[in-house]
Amino acid sequence: MKVFVTGTRGIPNIMGGVETHCEELFPRIAAMGVDVTVARRKNYVTEREPLTGWNGVHLVDVDTPKKKSFEAIIHTFRAINEAKRCGADIVHIHAIGPALLVPYAKMRGLKVVFTHHGPDYDRDKWGIVAKAMLKLGERMGCMFADDVIVISRVIERLIADKYGRTRGVHVISNGVPAPEKCSAPDYFRSLGIEENRYILGMCRFVPEKRLHDLVEAFAMLKERGVIDGNTRLVLAGDTDFEDDYSRRLKRMALDNGVVLTGFVKGVRLHSLLTNAMCYVLPSSHEGLPIALLEAMSYGLPVVVSDIPANMEVGLPEQCYFRLGDVEMLADRLCDVMLRQVPWVNYDMGSYDWNIIAQQTRYVYEAETT
């Protein structure tokens, strides 16, 4: 069985929720004997010598213009043609933008599995035309894919209500690997932070993540005298496309003494997750946030907005704050610091990547038998 994957910027070590999902999932599926190829967007590949394979997964780099408005659709079109050329049995398309071309893949005679990672048209960064195209992509994926994978019950209900799609729909959540707890003293010194003396935000710098709310809440805590100068806010991440929002956020962060790390992976990321006071996700839009699951796997106290995707995780009430309510967010952070909970024992059994890989393989097998 040959599976060709598109809809992701690529793997490994490329920032993004879909990218992390694919990086964890497809090596596990390949280890089960499935022939897996992942199409990467060439302009995101940073290796000096581009990889042709990684952890049992074949990699194909596809030329794509780095333009927010149409890079995904051009990449998907070219990737589908490559999937047909190499004799794939199934093309697995991730996210609703690339799903616009599900009918094209069907016309090329390919079986299509579509993973719906969330209604991206709710993201603040998109204009009217882009939102319309994303909604059309969602419709094309849900109406014409042979099987639809959704990462949460919230999305399952959404596509049932909007499109009446219930057949061939599989709820298979995002997962999280085992934590790699560690310290990186030299890295912490370079950032000017101390272990257990910082609040962590970790995501891309895009409007729907609402990191500006977190910066405002941090400034409010300083005004209240709740934190001293040694307690910092660390924002781990950046943006793929520098825009007015990311520039404003960075200026706002620097004005308030916030530490900006840029994109981080590996030991640096593990050390930030190991030694934080808590993790905060104030976003207005999520599918099922991998960054939140990662923070939970490290036992961090978490504070998140009360959007449906975050509520589905089932955290205690005191972990949630009303979306956009900066004062309530500051209150929740104050509570975390006063309680000084060093570690939380979350039940992560539902987020085992090995089980998720097996469930995904079952979907493939149903289409090829």
Distance separating alpha carbons of residues 342 and 109, to the nearest angstrom: 54
Specify which of 85-99, 114-128, 342-356 reaches the highest per-range mean pLDDT: 85-99
The full set of domain ranges for the chain reads 2-175+352-368, 185-349
192, pLDDT greater than 80: yes
Whats the size of the chain, residue-wise? Answer: 369
Task: Look at 130 and 299; give whichever has higher pLDDT.
Answer: 299
- Which three-class secondary structure state does DSSP give residue 259? strand
Query: Comparing 2-175+352-368 with 185-349, is the CATH topology the same?
Result: yes
| Angle in degrees, 0-180, between the axes of helices 211-224 and 244-255, rounded to the nearest 10 | 20
pLDDT category of residue 7 using cuts at 50, 70 and 90: very high
pLDDT given for residue 227 in this prediction? 84
CATH no. for 2-175+352-368: 3.40.50.2000
Residues near 31 by beta carbon (within 8 Å), at least 6 away in sequence: 56
pLDDT given for residue 92 in this prediction? 98
The three-point CA angle 123-164-146 to 5° equals: 85
Take residue 244 and report the two structure tokens written for it. Answer: 């007015």
Task: Look at 342 and 280; give whichever has higher pLDDT.
Answer: 280
pLDDT given for residue 68 in this prediction? 67
CA atoms within 13 A on the CB side of 180: 9
Distance separating alpha carbons of residues 257 and 167, to the nearest angstrom: 51
Distance separating alpha carbons of residues 142 and 156, to the nearest angstrom: 11
The chain-wide mean pLDDT, for the chain, equals: 93
Residues near 3 by beta carbon (within 8 Å), at least 6 away in sequence: 29, 34, 35, 36, 37, 88, 89, 90, 91, 92, 364
What b/e readout covers 192-202, taking b as 16+ CB neighbours within 10 angstroms? ebeeeebbbbb
320-351 pLDDT tens trace: 999 999 999 999 999 998 887 778 889 898 89
69, pLDDT greater than 70: no
Maximum separation of any 2 CA atoms in the chain, in Å: 64
CATH superfamily assigned to domain 185-349:
Glycogen Phosphorylase B; (3.40.50.2000)
Can you tell me the mean pLDDT for 289-298?
93
214-265 pLDDT tens trace: 999 999 999 988 888 789 999 999 987 888 999 999 999 999 999 999 999 8
